[in-house]
Amino acid sequence: MEFTAAMIARILNGTVEGDPETKLNTVARIEEGHPGALSFLSNLKYEPYLYTTGASAVLVKNDFIPVKEVAVTLIRVDDPYQALARLLAFYEKARPVKKGIHPTAVIDEQTTVGEEVFIGACAVISENAVIGEGCKIHPQVYIGENVQIGKNCTLHPGVKIYRDSIIGNDCIIHAGAVIGADGFGFAPVSDANFMKIPQIGNVIIEDNVEIGSNTCIDRATMGSTVIRRGVKLDNLIQVGHNVEIGENTVIAAQSGLAGSTRVGRNCMFGGQVGLAGHLSIANGCKIGAQSGIMSTISEENSILLGSPATDSKQFLKSVVYIRKLPELSSRVDALTKTVESLKNK
């Protein structure tokens, strides 16, 4: 598909600075721009590329003032990053929509399937499942007994949804994710043996949730593991049994949440964050990458770093001292020698 800069500006409620007839047919990072590509400048550390990019047009903020002459066409918008997201969503909607049921799909007679649904090759949908209208079930997806899936959901290839799980509207689950597997529940019966505790609960995923590839969300021992509306989970995340993640919380890859943890709304976790079980995280907390949370965080909007995690300012001060440890160790050794010398005298 090809657009002009003027057409892009109309879609984004922006203004054109330069040639409004500039032809655009793809997007590219500003440092990798080439003719026909639309790039964006959101983080000003990439500003030097604006003056050398090969892109045909660049999205910039309305109040951006270049320090050099700019050869490319600029499209000024309120927020370049959000504008790019809107533009890509517009492009995605313009793509042909898959519909129909592949003849190799296995669908139980007691399944309810809504209108305008796509079900790909070798997908399996078990008895009493409900698939809402407009859903896209890609090849080799497995949907267990009594699963309920709302409207306009997309399940990418190889997703596995275990029995009794409930998924809301407008959710996206990426390839290889597993929803509703048994929680990690075992009771010690001797020094070397464990008895499996049956996991009889389920998983509830509310509306507008996106779950990354190979992420696992365990079913509850009793009750429900709950992912609230608007949550975004990256790839390779482990969510334990009976966890609850609050609205609009975002968690990056390789993080792990142990059983019965409660995470508030509007939280942000970096990659490889680990949470111990049976604790709570207050609303709005931000936790840096590779941090380990060992106890409840009660203060809202806390910013935490390190393992075990502490207040970010205290952690950064500690890092300064850690870097000085070799120097401090040498000074202590020298002082020790001086003291011993004085004692001998």
Q: What is the pLDDT of residues 278-320, one digit of tens each?
A: 999 999 999 999 999 999 999 999 999 988 888 888 888 887 7
Q: Are residues 58 and 132 in the same domain?
A: no
Q: Are residues 272 and 145 in the same domain?
A: yes
Q: Are residues 207 and 337 in the same domain?
A: no
Q: Are residues 327 and 220 in the same domain?
A: no
Is 278 a known active-site residue? no
Pair type for strands 224-227 and 244-245: parallel
Does residue 112 carry a pLDDT above 80?
yes
pLDDT at 315: 80
User: pTM for the whole thing?
Assistant: 0.85
pLDDT at 62: 94
pLDDT at 192: 80
Nearest to 236 by CA among 278, 276, 273: 273
CATH of the domain at 11: 3.40.1390.10
Structure tokens at 21: 């007839």
Q: Are residues 44 and 114 in the same domain?
A: no
pLDDT at 273: 97
CA–CA distance, 206 with 217 (Å, rounded to integer): 13
Mean residue pLDDT of the chain comes to 93
Q: Are residues 177 and 61 in the same domain?
A: no
Tell me which of 15-24, 165-174, 324-333 is least confident.
Answer: 324-333
Reduced to 3 states (helix: H, G, I; strand: E, B; else coil), residue 69 is coil
Tally of domains in the chain: 3
Q: Are residues 134 and 206 in the same domain?
A: yes
Q: Are residues 83 and 138 in the same domain?
A: no
Tell me which of 192-201, 230-239, 287-296, 321-330 is least confident.
Answer: 321-330
End-to-end CA separation in angstroms for the chain? 89
Q: Are residues 304 and 320 in the same domain?
A: no
Q: What is the DSSP letter of 297?
A: B
Q: Are residues 265 and 137 in the same domain?
A: yes
Task: Kindly tell me the burial class for residue 21, based on how many C-beta atoms sit within 10 Å of its own C-beta (0-12, 13-18, 19 or more).
Answer: exposed
CATH of the domain at 270: 2.160.10.10
pLDDT at 191: 78
Nearest to 50 by CA among 66, 34, 27: 66
Pair type for strands 3-4 and 23-24: antiparallel
Q: pLDDT category, 247, cuts 50, 70, 90?
A: very high
Of 315 and 236, more confident? 236
In what helix (H) or strand (E) does residue 244 lie, and over which residues does it extend?
Answer: strand 244-245
Tell me which of 154-168, 215-229, 328-342 is least confident.
Answer: 328-342
pLDDT at 223: 96
Q: Are residues 38 and 161 in the same domain?
A: no
241 close to 183: Cβ distance less than 8 angstroms: yes
CA angle at 216 for the pair 214 and 221, rounded to the nearest 5°: 165
Tell me which of 7-21, 90-104, 275-289 is least confident.
Answer: 90-104
pLDDT at 233: 98
Indicate the Cα dihedral angle 104, 105, 110, 116, nearest 10°: -120
Q: Are residues 35 and 113 in the same domain?
A: no
Backbone angle region of 45, left / alpha / beta, with phi > 0 → left and psi within -120 to 50 → alpha: alpha
Among the listed residues 138, 156, 174, 241, the single catalytic one is 241
B/e letters for 23-60, b = 16+ CB within 10 Å, e = fewer, are: ebeebbebeebeebbbbbbeeeeeeebbeebbbbbbbb
Q: pLDDT category, 45, cuts 50, 70, 90?
A: very high
pLDDT at 128: 97
- For residue 112, what are the domain limits? 101-314
Q: pLDDT category, 259, cuts 50, 70, 90?
A: very high
